[in-house]
Amino acid sequence: MKNQPKIGVLFMTSGWFRDVGLQTSSADVTKEVDAIAEEITERLSAFSEVVSDGVLYSEEMAARSAERMRCEDVDGLLIAPLMWCEDQILLAAMKLLGGLPSLLCFFLPYDTLPDFVGYQEMIKGSGLVGILQLSGFLKRQGYRYLSVSGYYRDDSLYDTLKRHVSAFAVRRALKNVTCGVLPFRCDQMSTTYVDEFSLRKRYGVELKYLELQRFRDEARKVSAEEIGAFTELLKKEDQVIEVDEKNLTEGIRYALAMEKIIFDEGIGIFAMNDIIEEMHVCFGLRPCLSNPRLSDAGMVVTMEADIAAGVCMYVLQHYTGQAPLYAELFTADLEKNAFLMGHPGYHSTRMRDENYPVRIVSDVEYENTDPFTGAATFFKYSPGPVTAVNSVYNGERLRWTVFEGSSLEGPPKLEGTPHLFCRVETPVQKLCSRAVQIGVSQHWIVVPGHIKNELEELCAWLDIEYCDTG
């Protein structure tokens, strides 16, 4: 993803105001509106790359500006009638930019009105007329948009705008991601199935199926020097190694094989079907030793080949800048109104509780049946507010079901697997009943912070169905 979203901003006023003499180039209202546009642009530039040609008041100006935005490949549009304007001005731009996500913005030029309002002062704030009129035009033309309104110097307005334009960049990133599937879907859990053609058409996600033997061959090529260097990397991160050299070595081989293939194939999401017999016969273990370099590169990994959950992890990592955790609701504590959450397998350690060490232990599920007992990364999740998202394909598009809670402080609570103890506000019985009635999978993606409301906005931009368990 680019460091900052690139947005096209269409500031518009009316050509008719000029035609009838209500507004001239030298009029105070013109200078004031131009200054407002410049100040908004400066504020937007704090969190985005702005492409704008100032205030537009003709079809020709709008068409030229739209052509520039198209050439500069903006992620989305801010449509801002600073005063009333004609439909034709916006239409000239949308003919070139209609496929982009669009945010319709009403920037009030004042936060209060005087006791008596002069006509020039009124038309300076007539962007309200413009945004209402343009909303009908955009809706009837079939354009998808969201809207925001507020005083142009209100800091909270720019917080809202930042969230929306960040969603533009996430939408762009999603359209260029490859999801590697090793080696095929998980037949034991049909809720994880997706329509891969629909996934590509609607979101741009391309699936690439990978062979087990390729991973085995790459693992066999790993040298003693590479194994030694990776061991030192783990120690540098203060990870406590509790498995013997044989199992650590084999775990490192597959951690490095994953790294090579993922980077070679340009994969952003890795969905591993880790419970099939073929993998354990071929590898002799489940690859679940976390690779810090994959974490630093923003790689997300799901188990049980859950592609919809992988897309969710990818989106949330790009949107929040934080590593997500792949988890299940293992069980519940009614007295504490909390869920014990976690999942065996591969995880990034970036959201570990720094009060307790990351440990490398045997694979709690396969240590008694695989040829190798495995080398699995174990940690407790960081305490604090969290949001959990379930992501499934609903037959037409992705559906996200969301709840908020708090990862509780204290020592590790579960043996053998990364986990958190998550207290929720809604009674767990009610939350479970609501989730079951919606129709979810068992997998939940955990990210820090309470961002439920933001995710509802994000889902609107990404064409994802949003459901709240509250």
| CATH number for the domain that contains residue 143 | 3.40.50.10940
Which residue type does 213 have?
Q
Say how many domains are in the chain.
2
Same-domain check for residues 185 and 169? no
Asked whether residue 226 falls in the same domain as residue 167, the answer is no
Q: Is 163 helix (H, G, I), strand (E, B) or coil?
A: helix
Please give the Cα distance from 227 to 223 (Å, whole number): 6
Assess contact for 301 and 347: CB atoms under 8 A: yes
Is residue 120 domain-resident? yes
The answer to the question of residue 204 being in a domain is: yes
- Please give the full DSSP string across 85-154, using - where no structure is assigned: --HHHHHHHHHHHTTS-EEEEEEES-SS--SS--HHHHHHTTHHHHHHHHHHHHHHHT--EEEEEEETT-
Token readout for 226 is 């590479």
- The helix/strand/coil state of 250 is helix
Domain extent at residue 399: 181-468
Pair (391, 273) in one structural domain: yes
Q: Are 288 and 376 in the same domain?
A: yes
Q: Considering the domain boundaries, does residue 375 fall inside one?
A: yes
Q: What is the CATH number of the domain that holds 358?
A: 3.20.14
Claim to verify: residue 201 and residue 150 sit in the same structural domain: no
167 in the same domain as 37: yes
CB 305 within 8 Å of CB 190: no
Same domain? For 36 and 167 the reply is yes
Q: What is the pLDDT along the chain (470 residues), one digit of tens a residue?
A: 446 899 999 999 999 998 888 887 778 899 999 999 999 999 999 999 999 999 999 999 999 999 999 999 999 999 999 999 999 999 999 999 999 999 999 999 999 999 999 999 999 999 999 999 999 999 999 999 999 999 999 999 999 999 999 999 999 999 989 999 999 999 999 999 999 999 999 999 999 999 999 999 999 999 999 999 999 999 999 999 999 999 999 999 999 999 999 999 999 999 999 999 999 999 999 999 999 999 999 999 999 999 999 999 999 999 999 999 999 999 999 999 999 999 999 999 999 999 999 999 999 999 999 999 999 999 999 999 999 999 999 999 999 999 999 999 999 999 999 999 999 999 999 999 999 999 999 999 999 999 999 999 999 999 999 999 98
pLDDT at residue number 1 = 40
Q: Could you tell me if residue 155 is inside a domain?
A: yes
Q: Are residues 26 and 74 in the same domain?
A: yes
With respect to residue 117, please indicate whether it lies within any of the assigned structural domains.
yes
Q: Are residues 463 and 387 in the same domain?
A: yes
Of 140, 174, 208, the position where a domain reaches its end is 174
**Looking at 174, 199, 231, which one is the last position of a domain?**
174
Q: Are 207 and 196 in contact (CB under 8 A)?
A: yes
Task: Kindly state whether residue 452 falls inside one of the protein's structural domains.
Answer: yes
Write the DSSP assignment of 256-279 as a string of letters: HHHHHHHHHHT-SEEEE-TTSHHH
Are 324 and 419 in the same domain? yes
How many whole angstroms separate alpha carbon 361 and alpha carbon 376?
5
Q: Are 56 and 14 within 8 A, CB to CB? A: no
Whether residues 321 and 377 fall in one domain? yes
403 in Cβ contact with 383 (< 8 Å): no
| CA separation for the pair 326, 333 (Å, rounded) | 20
- Note whether residue 1 is domain-resident: no
Q: Is residue 363 part of a domain?
A: yes
Same domain, 119 and 253: no
Of 111, 140, 174, the last residue of a domain is 174
Six-digit token string for 209: 């199926």
